[in-house]
């Protein structure tokens, strides 16, 4: 007897395979392929352990630089951490920046057309979920 999970997997697998086949046939490469090409130093199409380690180190360095920039900009009391008020100031500044990018005529109000154009241009409001993947909970994510 099949459980609900097994039945769902049996139904979903051909649908996913069909959608993938269709996307490949239409020439739409998965977004991850571009990243792999950038990180693949020897051009073999896969990331070996050394390339993965270099990518991990590069991502860690980029994250550390962003963290240092945030501290330099928003750490008002210079204690090396962002407290709740400082984090709120950082969020407010980012929202103001996004709003300014969407407010094309600078009148301080968004029309529906400005909102649509800004959201379509990925002005920062296109992300869904915690990491922009359309999910807020799941594998490796905290609620």
Per residue in 61-102, pLDDT tens? 999 999 999 999 999 999 989 999 999 999 999 999 989 888
d(CA 72, CA 81): 10
Q: Helices 84-102 and 112-120 sit at what angle, rounded to 10 degrees?
A: 110
pTM: 0.48
Kindly tell me the sign of the dihedral angle through the C-alpha atoms of 130, 135, 136, 142.
negative
Does the pLDDT of residue 5 top 80, yes or no? Answer: no
Mean pLDDT within 27-53: 74
- Rounded mean pLDDT of the chain? 78
pLDDT recorded at residue 121: 66
Residues 6+ apart with CB under 8 A from 83: 77
């Amino acid at each position: 007897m099949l459980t609900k999970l097994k039945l769902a997997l049996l139904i979903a697998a051909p649908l996913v395979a069909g959608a993938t086949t269709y996307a490949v046939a239409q020439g739409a490469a998965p977004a991850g392929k571009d990243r792999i090409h950038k990180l693949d130093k020897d051009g073999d199409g896969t990331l070996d352990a050394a390339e993965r380690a270099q990518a991990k180190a590069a991502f860690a360095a980029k994250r550390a630089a962003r963290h240092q920039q945030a501290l330099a900009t928003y750490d008002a009391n210079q204690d090396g951490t962002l407290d709740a008020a400082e984090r709120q100031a950082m969020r407010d500044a980012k929202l103001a920046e996004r709003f300014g990018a969407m407010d094309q005529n600078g009148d301080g109000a968004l029309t529906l057309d400005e909102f649509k154009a800004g959201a379509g241009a990925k002005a920062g409001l296109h992300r869904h979920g915690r990491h922009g993947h359309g999910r807020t909970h799941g594998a490796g994510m905290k609620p």
